[in-house]
Every structure is written in structure tokens, then in C-alpha cells.
Amino acid sequence: MIIDCHGHYTTAPAAHNAWRETFGAGDTPPAYPVITDDEIRETIEGNQLRLMAERGIDLTIFSPRASAMAHHRDDAVTSTAWARACNDLIARVVGLHPGKFAGVCQLPQAVGVPMSGLIAELRRCVCDLGFVGLNLNPDPSGGHWTSPPLTDPVWYPLYEAMVELDVPAMVHVSAVTNPSFHATGSHYLNADTTAFMQLVQADLFKEFPGLRLIIPHGGGAVPYHWGRFRGLADMLGRPPLAESVMGNVYFDTCVYHQPGIDLLFQVIDTANILFGSEMVGAVRGRDPLTGAYFDDTRRYVDALDLGESDRYAVYEGNARRVYPRLPA
């Protein structure tokens, strides 16, 4: 069985996206539009389900479109309305295609909002909707980085709830308003690198031994600079990375060429790698050099010729360990 840990509903119905455009911080969102089951099926069957079948992916861990979370646009009220609508839509996708998707929620984040709203929506999604994890945005400002690091105690109540519910978070930013950054070209990768370094600097996992975080996009710049991070940990008087961070942190395989995947598996323990493609996502075209889709990451992983136990770990076993609420 092959589990893709990183899929977003980038093909959500137009009415859903149009509704989002009707409100922002300070507004009262209007009634949510009617979206039929057939409309949902249509957006999934020709896209994610088709590609999953073509690529041999059995199950996708599926969350709302990351770039559309856009927490910078919202206050607590509108972010809650938008998160609930997005998460309810994911729940419908999961319900309409039994066995093909597992839900991951977006949280009603916004700059400076209290954790209580995030935790309430997480509980609703896990307990009522059967979700298996969450996406956590370390920069709800949209590229201005005004929130405290992920290791700051302000986040602890959320981590307590995650540990209690036994769900992991993928650390995933959203759209940017800062013109220095391109969302998928630099902001996403920067956020991955930033989050990892925050974790190197602090003792978060001593506080929360059961906390599990997935850093997507192959860990940003981290595996390529693994020697730099090992050396920095040493210079900063921190424990070795294996000890302080890698007991609780996982990288996905959203790296869109063979040499990158080769390096990821060369430097990161297989136990810390989850198969993922971010399909249909950031990069949708075909590589003119190979004719294959850039984001068909299974091709790269298969080309590694892993042994059976490593192959099982990356494609299924690690995901089951990190997301224990996945259906058996």
C-alpha cells in the first residue's frame, strides 16, 4: 500500500473559492453556498483520483489548499468560518471516496489570535470528522514573520491538544503578501528551513516527547545543508540533531528531481521520511527532460531501489506511525 502524506484540495469547487472572496477580517461571512456531491466528485475524480490511479497511490492524506488558507486576511471570526468550511469540504471528499483519502485540517489561525479557537477546531475535526492530523502555519502574517517561533510557549496549548489527540502537524505556510517572496518558490521552502532551525535551537521535544511534526518539501534546505545544521548544533552547544530533533520530526518526499531524492535518502534516516507528492500542487507540469510529471515523486523513490523494509516504511509504515488515526 502507498500512502501519500501530502495532498491539498487545490481543485475545490469554484463556489467554495468564490465564497472566500466575499469576506475578510472584520466582516460577517455570508451563508455558505450549496455545493453538491456531484460537484465535489467531479473536482476529485478527474484530478487527484485519476493521478493516484495512474501513479499507484492508494491513500492520500488530504488537507485544504495550503496557499488559500491565507491567514493574513482574517481575524478569529472569519478565519474560523473559512477553516470550518474548508475542513467540512475535506470531510465530504473523504466520505465520498471511501478508503482513498484521510482528512487533515486547516486551523483558524490569524496573527495574534488565542490558541483556544485553533484547539476547538482541531478537536472538532479529529473527534467529529475523523481527521488524522493538522496543518500548522508558522507565519500567519503571510511572509512578514510576526509570530513567535514554533518553540515559544504561546503554542504549547495546541501541542498539548495534539499529544492528547495523538495527531501530528505538517508545518505549512500559506500565501504571501510580502513581495520579496514567491509562495511556492521561496516562502514554502524558507518556512521549512526556518521551522527546522527553530526546533534545533530549543528543547520543544523535551517538553512534548509525543509531539510529531512533518516538515514538508523534503525539509526545505535542510538535507542539502545537513552538515551545516550538524555543525551549527555543535557550535550552539545543542545536542546532536538525531537526539534533539529527529525523534519527532519527519520530512516528506516532495522534492521534484532524482538527485534531490537521492540526497534526502542518503542523509536522512529512512524512519524520518514519509512519501509525499503535494499532488495536485505547486508544480503541475511535465519535465521536458523525462516527459514525466515533476511531482510524480514515486518515480524517484522507486528508482532508489530500497530494500523491502525501507520501502514499506517510506510508503506506509512511517505514515501509520506518525498518523496513528489512519484507518487500518
Number of residues that bind its own copies (CB under 8 A): 58
SS (H, E, C) the chain: CCEEEEEEECCCCHHHHHHHCCCCCCCCCCCCCCCCHHHHHHHHHCCHHHHHHHHCCCEEEEEECHHHCCHHHCCHHHHHHHHHHHHHHHHHHHHHCCCCEEEEEECCCCCCCCHHHHHHHHHHHHHHCCCCEEEECCCCCCCCCCCCCCCCHHHHHHHHHHHHHCCCEEECCCCCCCCCCCHHHHHHHHHHHHHHHHHHHCCHHHHCCCCCEEECHHHCCCHHHHHHHHHHHHHCCCCCHHHHCCCCEEEECCCCCHHHHHHHHHHCCHHHEECCCCCCCCCCCECCCCCCECCCHHHHHHCCCCCHHHHHHHHHHHHHHHCCCCCC
**Phi, psi values for residue 59, rounded to 5°:** -145, 135
| Site mask for its own copies (CB under 8 A), range 286-325, x = bound | -xx-----xx------------------------------
Residue 136 binding its own copies, by CB under 8 A:
no
Q: Which of 23, 32, 208, 226 binds its own copies (CB under 8 A)?
A: 226
Q: Which of 155, 205, 256, 315 binds its own copies (CB under 8 A)?
A: 256
User: Is 61 in contact with 133 (CB distance < 8 Å)?
Assistant: yes
Q: Which three cell numbers stand for residue 144?
A: 512578514
Q: Which of 37, 54, 203, 234 binds its own copies (CB under 8 A)?
A: 234
CB nearer to its own copies: pick between 99 and 237? 237
Q: Which of 180, 239, 269, 307 binds its own copies (CB under 8 A)?
A: 180
Site for its own copies in 56-85 (CB under 8 A): none
CB nearer to its own copies: pick between 101 and 188? 188
Q: Which residues are designated catalytic?
A: 278
CA distance 120 to 125: 9
Q: Which of 17, 22, 116, 178 binds its own copies (CB under 8 A)?
A: 178
Residue 267 binding its own copies, by CB under 8 A:
yes
Q: Which of 143, 168, 216, 276 binds its own copies (CB under 8 A)?
A: 143
Q: Which stretch binds its own copies (CB under 8 A): 5-13, 100-108, 254-262, 309-317?
A: 254-262
Q: How far is the CB of 79 from its own copies (least distance, A)?
A: 20
Q: How far is the CB of 303 from its own copies (least distance, A)?
A: 13
Q: Which stretch binds its own copies (CB under 8 A): 37-45, 78-86, 109-117, 195-203?
A: 195-203
Residue 216 binding its own copies, by CB under 8 A:
no
CB nearer to its own copies: pick between 189 and 301? 189
- Which residues contribute to the site for its own copies (CB under 8 A)? 138-139, 143-145, 147-149, 178-182, 184-186, 189-190, 193-194, 196-198, 200-201, 217-218, 220-221, 223-232, 234-235, 255-257, 259-260, 262-263, 266-267, 282-285, 287-288, 294-295
